[in-house]
Amino acid sequence: MPGVAHTETRFDRRLAEILEYAIEVFYERGYEGASMRDLSRATGMSLAGLYYYFESKERLLYLIQKHTFKTIVQRLKERLKDANQPEQRIRVFILNHLEYFLSNQKAMKVLSHEDDALKNGFGAEIAAIKREYYHTCLDLMDEFKAAKGLEFNSRIAVLSLFGMMNWIYTWYKPRVDADASELARDMGDIFLRGICTGGQRGTRRKV
Amino acid sequence: MPGVAHTETRFDRRLAEILEYAIEVFYERGYEGASMRDLSRATGMSLAGLYYYFESKERLLYLIQKHTFKTIVQRLKERLKDANQPEQRIRVFILNHLEYFLSNQKAMKVLSHEDDALKNGFGAEIAAIKREYYHTCLDLMDEFKAAKGLEFNSRIAVLSLFGMMNWIYTWYKPRVDADASELARDMGDIFLRGICTGGQRGTRRKV
Amino acid sequence: MPGVAHTETRFDRRLAEILEYAIEVFYERGYEGASMRDLSRATGMSLAGLYYYFESKERLLYLIQKHTFKTIVQRLKERLKDANQPEQRIRVFILNHLEYFLSNQKAMKVLSHEDDALKNGFGAEIAAIKREYYHTCLDLMDEFKAAKGLEFNSRIAVLSLFGMMNWIYTWYKPRVDADASELARDMGDIFLRGICTGGQRGTRRKV
Amino acid sequence: MPGVAHTETRFDRRLAEILEYAIEVFYERGYEGASMRDLSRATGMSLAGLYYYFESKERLLYLIQKHTFKTIVQRLKERLKDANQPEQRIRVFILNHLEYFLSNQKAMKVLSHEDDALKNGFGAEIAAIKREYYHTCLDLMDEFKAAKGLEFNSRIAVLSLFGMMNWIYTWYKPRVDADASELARDMGDIFLRGICTGGQRGTRRKV
DNA sequence: TATGAATGAGTGTTCATTCAT
DNA sequence: TATGAATGAACACTCATTCAT
């Protein structure tokens, strides 16, 4: 079916290729530490040639972050459609995050690590997606709390969960550590049991 | 009180001052993003003057990271002396980490975020301290497991805990979020309950 | 005329131009004393622009020295083909050296004066060419000795000859001093007569 | 005998020490390449301390060159008193030069190699001594020519001789090459025989 | 579509030198 | 007599970016 959306031009494909290399380079040396020359070397394209595809190094990072983030959010939405129970929905969130994280480890490091490298407009747009993603998780948490009649600080819970998950880029070793689904189960266990038991302020007790 | 230790020279004091500024600058702009000129401006000292106190930008980061890390490790050791029960010891670990983290948020971001900015000798030394710190926590976890007769992946548990805690630098707002002790209690609850219940592989069930 | 050799690119030509300026600058201020800014000023090209043509100041000196040396050696080989008699061959050596020296006085000063400015790889390569050149002269000297049945220290003789010739850059004034061929004849006379007469150890006598 | 001249103060002695180190440093790294920090390290004296003894790096070089040159000139004068015959006088000149050169190789390299490093006043003064020294040799040459009824370009002869001798710093190896007196004899032989024989313009002949 | 050539501004670092003590 | 502390200017070099082609 011909249409507007599926016309992926040669330009788009070439740009996507370059972005792959850029992810590699930013992953390896950090956004500030990476130079356009590094990217030129990595892609085999001339310095000037790169600029045909994007207007600045900053925009390059922006494109990476946006695409990465949008994809993870979109996949989440897809998966959430099939999950109804509050707990299950949180587990879906975790699995989605970790699956994407591990299949796109380098991009995710660039997303996580270069959190505040973008300025002004670019930064604001990514921050907005991030906020949306955060609130999705926050909502899941509140649903869960309501369903279970629990009482805890959702903000802390969500941010702790993000911490657990995002920190992965600092330690994950493919050949040592389990795959995404097992990791999601383990982290899900820790997190969900953690926020579950007791939990009522005032009646908090030793574990 | 006479003693060996109190010979803190003028040089040391001045260097310490500069390090404070450097923490601020690295916190604000990242290690790579920060220029020695930024530091010169921040300290009010001439570019050349700074080099009287340390031989390179890299060594500056090294000094910051080493001091920060050594202090946190040392305080932990002190506190661990008074804690005997496995659970309590983990809670001490968490509290120590978070207390230091929040009182030295900027330094801790520089420590966490610029994890792999140091090369060769400098990097190796910091990595060694980090490994020691990690293993201390791992040991605590194993003691806890043994005492409770639990079964879980200590590595994942410890690294998840670190993630929860270290991620703080990305979101903590002093006026919004609770203080260290409350945070330590909350995170401790989540984490300890999480790893506690059930836990035996095979008998795992819904939360 | 078609051929492999005539592909001298625009890049090569531009580089050659820059090298001319660099010779001038190094000649005037010495390698250490010359700054890239001096060269930038001399060429009228921006500081950064220069680096498009060579990767470092050291390599710049290397290129100058190598080209100068290779040319002088190559011309010598050419000329030596047509000379058979031992004495004549030495005179050819002297003439070749002085002719090139005087037509490329500045480059030759840079070659002579900055003898040990190059480090490691660069230095080694130039040193190798120099050694080869020295040995060519040493061989000429030994042939001469053998042919004439003379007895003298070839090493000292050769190095004395080099001294006579290379020192020129410190005193030669185009409008005062004779041209290369006359100078070559004079120095050749001094040198050849000098090593000729008497010369047998033991029978040495007053001049 | 009391007098003005022999009061060598502590200051003078200390300065002389420093000059020794400076010779070493300039010899090793060249005047431009040597830094005051290098000298500070070499002497064990503080950077600022050095400036008590001389007002600038340039003056340091000046002091070294002046002292070296004055000494060699003065010794020459002494020795020339006892030599009457023209040839002998030239041999004395050579021997004096080489003896001093080899006993003070490093200082002599600094003198020879850093010939034009000094600017303005400093440079002029050294240049004057040099000119005087040169003319002494030129006079010796002219006396010799007159006595022998020879005909050659004294300027070229003298400068060739200087070349032979001064070039030594680039090749002399104490354990390989002969000592000063032997070297002086060899170079004297080469040079004196060289300028002697034939020599009349027009009647010049093959050696 | 892609590049060779170029640039102004900036990088971390070192320079010779000074001055209060 | 000697130094610790400091500096302005310069160093070699790299940066992201541009523009004619």
Query: Quick one: pLDDT band at residue A200, thresholds 50, 70, 90?
Result: very low
**Within-domain flag for A21:** no
Q: Does C78 touch chain D (CB under 8 A)?
A: no
Question: B161: closest CA among B174, B176, B147, B144?
Answer: B144
Question: C161: closest CA among C138, C129, C128, C131?
Answer: C138
CA separation, residue D195 to residues C126, D93, D191, D203 (Å): 34, 16, 6, 14
Question: D166: closest CA among C157, C188, C94, C160?
Answer: C160
Neighbouring CB atoms inside 10 A of B146's CB total 10
Among C58-67, C149-158, D191-200, the minimum mean pLDDT is found in: D191-200
- Percentage helix, strand, coil for chain A under 3-state DSSP, each rounded to 5: 70, 0, 30
Query: Rounded mean pLDDT of B173-177?
Result: 95
| Chain E, protein-covered positions (CB within 7 A) | 1-20
What does the pLDDT read at residue C6?
60
Q: Return all residues near A85 (Cβ < 8 A) that are at least 6 apart.
A: none
User: What is the full DSSP assignment across C119-172?
Assistant: -HHHHHHHHHHHHHHHHHHHHHHHHHHHHHT----HHHHHHHHHHHHHGGGGT-
Q: d(Cα C124, Cα C126) in Å, to the nearest integer?
A: 6
Residues 65-124 of A with CB under 7 A from strand E: none
Q: Is residue B195 over pLDDT 90? A: no
**Within-domain flag for B204:** no
Residue A167 CA and nucleotide E13 C1' are separated, in Å, by 35
Q: Closest nucleotide to B50's CA, by C1' atom?
A: F6
**Interchain CB distance below 8 Å, C193 and D196:** yes
Helix (H) or strand (E) run with residue A133 in it: helix A120-148
Q: d(Cα D138, Cα D126) in Å, to the nearest integer?
A: 18
What does the pLDDT read at residue D7?
79
Residues D25 and D116 in one domain: no
**Within-domain flag for D201:** no
Q: Closest nucleotide to C36's CA, by C1' atom?
A: F12
Both tokens of residue C80?
Answer: 């030596």
Proximity of residue D207 CB to strand E below 7 A: no
Q: Does A177 touch chain B (CB under 8 A)?
A: yes
Q: d(Cα D144, Cα B102) in Å, to the nearest integer?
A: 91
Give the position of tokens 């030994």: C142
SS3 B44: coil
User: What is the full DSSP assignment across A53-100?
Assistant: T-S-HHHHHHHHHHHHHHHHHHHHHHHHTT--SHHHHHHHHHHHHHHH
**Within-domain flag for A27:** no
Residues B6 and B22 in one domain: yes
Question: C89: closest CA among C80, C102, C98?
Answer: C80
Question: Are A and B touching by the rule of 3+ CB pairs within 8 Å?
Answer: yes
Nearest CA in chain A to B193: A194
Neighbouring CB atoms inside 10 A of C32's CB total 17
What pLDDT, in 10s, does the model give residues A130-155? 999 999 999 999 999 999 999 999 99
What does the pLDDT read at residue A34?
98
What pLDDT, in 10s, does the model give residues B26-73? 999 999 999 999 999 999 999 999 999 999 999 999 999 999 999 999
Residues C174 and C86 in one domain: yes
Residues C153 and C89 in one domain: yes
Query: Quick one: pLDDT band at residue B113, thresholds 50, 70, 90?
Result: very high
Backbone angles phi, psi at D179, to 5 degrees: -80, 180
What pLDDT, in 10s, does the model give residues D14-70? 999 999 999 999 999 999 999 999 999 999 999 999 999 999 999 999 999 999 999
Q: d(Cα A195, Cα B195) in Å, to the nearest integer?
A: 11
What does the pLDDT read at residue D180?
97
Q: Compute the nearest-CA separation of C69 from chain D (Å).
A: 17
CA torsion B36-B39-B44-B47 (nearest 10°) is: -10
**Within-domain flag for B9:** yes
Both tokens of residue B39?
Answer: 């530091």
**Within-domain flag for B203:** no
Both tokens of residue A100?
Answer: 């994407």
Q: Is residue B1 over pLDDT 70? A: no
Proximity of residue B52 CB to strand F below 7 A: yes
What pLDDT, in 10s, does the model give residues D154-171? 999 999 999 999 999 999
Exposure string for A107-137, b = 16+ CB within 10 A, e = fewer: bbbbbbbbbebbeeebbeebeebeeebeebb
CA separation, residue C52 to residues A57, A109, C41, C55 (Å): 21, 34, 16, 7
Alpha helices by DSSP H, chain B = 10-29, 36-43, 47-50, 57-80, 86-103, 105-113, 120-148, 154-166, 180-196
Backbone angles phi, psi at C171, to 5 degrees: -135, -15
Q: Does D147 touch chain C (CB under 8 A)?
A: no
Give the position of tokens 């949008």: A70
What pLDDT, in 10s, does the model give residues C98-146? 999 999 999 999 999 999 999 999 999 999 999 999 999 999 999 999 9
Q: d(Cα D156, Cα D150) in Å, to the nearest integer?
A: 14
Residues B80 and B160 in one domain: yes
Q: Is residue C59 over pLDDT 60? A: yes
Residues D36 and D62 in one domain: no
**Within-domain flag for A158:** yes
Residues D118 and D167 in one domain: yes
Query: Rounded mean pLDDT of D100-105?
Result: 97
User: What is the full DSSP assignment across C23-91?
Assistant: HHHHHHH-TTT--HHHHHHHHT--HHHHTTT-S-HHHHHHHHHHHHHHHHHHHHHHHHTT--SHHHHHH
What does the pLDDT read at residue B196?
84
Proximity of residue B116 CB to strand E below 7 A: no
Q: Is residue B25 over pLDDT 50? A: yes
Residues 7-36 of B with CB under 7 A from strand E: 34-36
Exposure string for C120-142, b = 16+ CB within 10 A, e = fewer: eebbeebeebeeebeebbeebbe
CA torsion C71-C75-C80-C83 (nearest 10°) is: -160
DSSP letter (8 states) at residue B201 = T
Q: Compute the nearest-CA separation of A3 from chain B (Å).
A: 42
Q: Compute the nearest-CA separation of C15 from chain D (Å).
A: 26
Question: B30: closest CA among A26, A43, A59?
Answer: A26
Residues C35 and C121 in one domain: no
SS3 B118: coil
Residues C192 and C122 in one domain: yes
What does the pLDDT read at residue C195?
86
What does the pLDDT read at residue C175?
95
Residues C67 and C46 in one domain: no
What pLDDT, in 10s, does the model give residues C189-207? 999 999 887 544 433 444 4
Q: Is residue C160 over pLDDT 70? A: yes
Region of A119 on the Ramachandran plot (φ > 0 left; ψ -120 to 50 alpha; else beta): beta
Residue D46 CA and nucleotide E21 C1' are separated, in Å, by 15
Return the CATH number at C166. Answer: 1.10.357.10
Mean pLDDT of the residues in chain C:
92
CB B194 within 8 A of CB A193: yes
**Within-domain flag for C16:** yes
Residues D14 and D77 in one domain: no
Helix (H) or strand (E) run with residue C96 in it: helix C86-103
Return the CATH number at B39. Answer: 1.10.10.60
Q: d(Cα A58, Cα B70) in Å, to the nearest integer?
A: 36
Rounded to the nearest angstrom, the gap between the alpha carbon of residue C141 and the centroid of all alpha carbons in its chain is 18
Q: Is residue C2 over pLDDT 80? A: no
Mean pLDDT of the residues in chain B:
92
Contacts of B180 in chain A (CB under 8 A): none
Q: Is residue B201 over pLDDT 50? A: no
Q: Is residue B74 over pLDDT 60? A: yes
Q: d(Cα C141, Cα C191) in Å, to the nearest integer?
A: 11
Q: Closest nucleotide to A11's CA, by C1' atom?
A: E1
Contacts of D177 in chain C (CB under 8 A): 155-156
What does the pLDDT read at residue D199?
46
What pLDDT, in 10s, does the model give residues A10-49? 999 999 999 999 999 999 999 999 999 999 999 999 999 9
Proximity of residue D37 CB to strand E below 7 A: yes
Contacts of A111 in chain B (CB under 8 A): none
Query: Quick one: pLDDT band at residue C1, thresholds 50, 70, 90?
Result: very low
Exposure string for D24-47, b = 16+ CB within 10 A, e = fewer: bbbbeebbbebebebbbebbebee
What total number of domains does chain A contain?
A: 1
- Range C121-129 contact pairs with CB under 8 angstroms and sequence separation of 24 or more: C122/C58, C122/C59, C122/C61, C122/C62, C125/C62, C125/C66, C126/C62, C126/C65, C126/C66, C126/C69, C129/C66, C129/C69, C129/C70, C129/C73
Exposure string for D83-122, b = 16+ CB within 10 A, e = fewer: eeebbebbbbbbbbbbbbbbebbbbbbbbbbbbebbeeeb
Q: Which residue is nearest to nucleotide E11 (CA to C1')?
A: B35
Domain, as residue range, for D152:
58-196
Q: d(Cα D203, Cα D205) in Å, to the nearest integer?
A: 6
Backbone angles phi, psi at C31, to 5 degrees: -65, -50
- Three-state SS annotation for D86-121: HHHHHHHHHHHHHHHHHHCHHHHHHHHHCCCCCCHH
Q: Compute the nearest-CA separation of D167 from chain C (Å).
A: 5
Residues D102 and D44 in one domain: no
Q: Classify residue B25 as exposed, middle or buried by CB count within 10 Å of its CB (0-12, 13-18, 19+).
A: buried
